[in-house]
Structure 1
């Protein structure tokens, strides 16, 4: 598989030595945030991971090569380029074979992380079952990837524009454990609680590392969701956000926006409606996830 991968020298050295590595997606740079906040956030997130004693590996595709760890220049390019494909499992072989540029979603980042031997991945929020998913069958490939790929995903829950109840039901059906980090409640991205519980609450990185090690040592395939609520200082009001989401969803429906275009549209609409507050919250939760995810990666490496 390394025929398809270019592994950054820092990442390769860490993997050879058994030191902790944390995977990061690139869709959040190219499709999730506006420039220049996207590139600035990506660099700050990588620095947070380094400060915790782990090595960051931002993953993206450049000229058909899967890059496990991006240079500073490559990060800048992802932040400004307009010809970057949004790549999930379905898109990965096309973008690689056609030698295109691609930013990896949660699902594609998990695939590439597993190819490189990385077990811990930090993102903002996972995808899930979309509202009215029982009619549209619009279910994120993130969920099916979590059911089959051995990578832990540290996130602020699922994006609150989704049907969170059905998302959790899907994960339960496919045997994906949902762990609340220092929380009994499943967070809803912008807010600390969705009104739904988690499967297990674990309060220390070492506990989560032991859980992951045991799961995979038992031969239980698939990932795990580590749900880490947004810091209270940046959490938004749940009732107000629900009203904003309803308005954004109605506009997306009226414009016929769906599929892979839906989430970028809705996130941009939320930024517009909230006067930028949702973007500030998005940045804060990604940084918080990086802090916790790096600690988990360090604890997991110590176990190994």
Structure 2
């Protein structure tokens, strides 16, 4: 895979010289945020990483080329309306590259490409997980399997409450992925600062996180999940959140929505029915995660 990677010159230089680099995904830009706002967030994410002393490397596949670090023009292309980018998980990288397609990378694909490039820290919004009803559908995100196999640190705000959080944490434990709570003892649920489930370990600054990550890498090949709760001012009101979730689940039942369509339908309901509150929370948490990832990358370097 490394022979096919296209590294932005700034990213290549930083990796060669041992400077900190933070990987950023592109799916949130092409599929998760509205046009106009997505490009603004893309620029702000990279600025936040730079302000923290690291080099940003937004990752996507463009015309069959896995690009680690995007030019301004490429970033605009990813965020353009009607860009027609496929959503690429790890299973999709081979077909996309082999067929010369373009796509935005998910947590799984971004983690794998980052690791192949030699980037050890990755900031995103939320991790994929075990879907509700997975005992019947076997619907489990590839993100979990990739974290079990690659040594990438994923800084995120937990998983969305539309997933089976208890089962997700169990799968992470089974695959020897440490879950660190950043200044919290509770695993966050994306829009909410606490899911009601405890984390295995707590760290209170980037130096502690880096020490744990470095030690883990000496003993295991798996990644590390650093769970950073959404900033308190941007947390969604819990009553509103619970109402939206109940409405969303009813929507799924009424329309017999299943499989891969479940999460997009639920998130679209959150976005529209909350009047944009969920999008505001999404933006705030991913920026906070990028800032923390930069701190951790600097500490590791």
Is the Cα–Cα contact under 8 Å of residues 32 and 264 in structure 1 kept in the other structure?
Answer: no
Tell me the residue number matched to 1:271. Answer: 271
Asked whether 1:89 is paired with 2:90, we answer yes
> What displacement does 1:79 show?
1.2
Is the Cα–Cα contact under 8 Å of residues 63 and 100 in structure 1 kept in the other structure?
Answer: yes
Summarize the alignment of residues 56-205 of structure 1 with structure 2, pairs less than 5 Å apart. Answer: 56-80=56-80, 81-205=82-206
Q: Per the alignment, in what secondary structure is the counterpart of residue 3 of structure 1?
A: helix
Is the Cα–Cα contact under 8 Å of residues 77 and 83 in structure 2 kept in the other structure?
Answer: no
CA RMSD, 1 decimal? 1.2
Tell me the residue number matched to 1:8. Answer: 8
| Number of aligned positions between the proteins | 300
> What displacement does 1:257 show?
4.0
Which consecutive unaligned segments of at least 5 residues does structure 2 have? none
Q: Per the alignment, in what secondary structure is the counterpart of residue 176 of structure 1?
A: coil
Instruction: Identify the range of structure 1 (235-244 vs 126-135) with the bigger mean alpha-carbon deviation.
Output: 235-244
Aligned CA distance change for structure 1 residues 253 and 22 (closer, same or farther; 3 Å): farther
Q: Per the alignment, in what secondary structure is the counterpart of residue 90 of structure 1?
A: helix
Is the Cα–Cα contact under 8 Å of residues 32 and 267 in structure 1 kept in the other structure?
Answer: no
Matched residues in 2 for 1:36 and 1:287: separation? 17
TM-score normalised by the chain length of structure 1: 0.96
After the TM superposition, which parts of structure 1 deviate over 3 Å for at least 4 consecutive aligned residues?
252-262
Matched residues in 1 for 2:94 and 2:156: separation? 26
> What displacement does 1:256 show?
4.4
Q: Per the alignment, in what secondary structure is the counterpart of residue 53 of structure 1?
A: coil
TM-score normalised by the chain length of structure 2: 0.97
Is the Cα–Cα contact under 8 Å of residues 157 and 188 in structure 1 kept in the other structure?
Answer: yes
User: CA deviation digits over 1:155-209, x for unaligned, max 9?
Assistant: 0011121111111111111111100000000000001000000010000101111
Instruction: Identify the range of structure 1 (264-273 vs 15-24) with the bigger mean alpha-carbon deviation.
Output: 264-273
Q: Per the alignment, in what secondary structure is the counterpart of residue 91 of structure 1?
A: helix
Is the Cα–Cα contact under 8 Å of residues 31 and 264 in structure 1 kept in the other structure?
Answer: no
Aligned CA distance change for structure 1 residues 157 and 287 (closer, same or farther; 3 Å): same
Matched residues in 1 for 2:92 and 2:260: separation? 11
> What displacement does 1:2 show?
3.1
Matched residues in 1 for 2:250 and 2:115: separation? 38
